Amino acid sequence: MGRYLLRRLLIAIPSLLGISLVLFAVLALAPGDPFGELASNPNVPPEVAAGLRAKFGLDDPVFLRYVRWLSAMLHGDWGFSFVSRTDVDSLIWQRLPATLLVIGSSQIVALLIALPVGVYSAMRRYSIFDQLANLWAFIGFSLPPFFTGLLFILLFSIYLDWLPFVFRSDLGASGWDWYWEEFKQALMPVAVLALFQAASWTRYVRSSVLEVIRLDYVTTARAKGLPERRVIVKHVLRNALIPVVTLVALQMPALFGGAIVTEQIFRIPGIGSLLISSILANDTPVIMAVTFVFACLVVLFNLIADLLYGWLDPRIAYR
């Protein structure tokens, strides 16, 4: 397992490099010049502008600039936010926990919905339950998160007045009340994301269980006289989950899109809303850094998926 993990880690490095290359290429190809204002400002003499350009290496070859940018990123020097007047990395560290909390708990909730529903629909294929679950799944992944969010706010905050619709990081309560308030305000964002994920996962689980359930070893397990429940949980599920993990890992990047929207609707102080506000404020260093962090998170979640593979299918780990 250790060597397998190491190999996976080494494979992650080229993809991180590739991502950084794409990001830098987008930035470098973009028209517009960070010193454009200086050049057009009559109060700045041209030789001062040229000196500044030389100092920051703006006229160097693209490759050199990429290496310099990358090494700065690796050293943890992510630049300085024009708007908040702080270092970008401290800004991101401040915002990251909220994002990870919402994404992580929504994944868990989605899993808790998708696994039982998917397995049960596969066991009762073409039953009423299966058809309803299928319809629900289609509705779930056709409802864009921003609309689900607004519907939830309309129903639970405005009509029923049960839940707050603005996420506050400065809750007045303390002790158990604090946890309760925190739970209440996280409920809707987590539910929005979980619904979106669970809908497509349900279909993955269902079709993958259907593939596995007709294999010979499952018949053997039944022939031994094992109760159906044990056959499903002990024998079918573990093998059925292998392709599900692949599909879930492939969907990870899309999940972050949903997370950005959810943070924006419920005003959660995470890196997604930070991205939107810095785009609206033209804060390029923050935009670049947040995009890079999202890309790193995708790679991280892919690593977790690889670990799950190793656990689900030990042959992969020892190959």
* List of residues contacting another protein (CB under 8 A): 15, 18-19, 22-23, 26-27, 30-32, 135, 138-139, 141-144, 146-147, 150-151, 153-154, 158, 203, 206-207, 210-211, 250, 253-254, 256-257, 260-261, 264-265, 275-276, 279-280, 282, 287-288, 290-291, 294-295, 297-299, 302
In whole angstroms, the minimum distance from the beta carbon of 48 to another protein comes to 26
Minimum distance from residue 166 beta carbon to another protein (Å): 12
CA–CA separation, 278 vs 80, rounded Å?
A: 12
Shortest distance, position 30 Cβ to another protein, whole Å: 4
Tokens 């596969």 appear where? 122
43/256 with CB nearer another protein: 256
* Min separation Cβ 167 and another protein, Å: 15
Number of H helices, E strands in the chain: 14, 0
- Report whether 25 contacts 32 (CB < 8 A): no
Residue with smaller CB distance to another protein, 55 or 214: 214
- Closer Cβ to another protein, 101 or 281, answer by number: 281
Q: Which helix (H) or strand (E) holds 224?
A: none
Closer CB to another protein, 48 or 279, in the complex: 279
Dihedral angle of Cα 175, 176, 182, 184, to the nearest 10 degrees = -160
Q: By the 8 A CB rule, do 118 and 178 touch?
A: no
The residue among 47 and 280 lying less far from another protein, judged by its C-beta, is: 280
Question: Quick one: three-class SS letters along 249-310?
Answer: HHHHHHHHHHHHHHHHHHCCCCHHHHHHHHHHCCCHHHHHHHHHHHHHHHHHHHHHHHHHHH
CB atoms within 10 A of CB 84: 17
Tell me the Cα Rg of the chain. 24
Least distance from C-beta 187 to another protein, angstroms? 18
Of 41 and 282, nearer to another protein (C-beta) is 282
Least distance in angstroms from the C-beta of 41 to another protein: 19
Question: Which residue number, 36 or 314, has a Cβ lying nearer to another protein?
Answer: 36
Q: How far apart are CA 127 and CA 163, in angstroms?
A: 36
To another protein, the closest distance from the beta carbon of 125 in angstroms equals 10
C-alpha to C-alpha distance for 99 and 264, rounded to whole angstroms: 11
Alpha carbons 210 and 122: distance in angstroms, whole number = 6
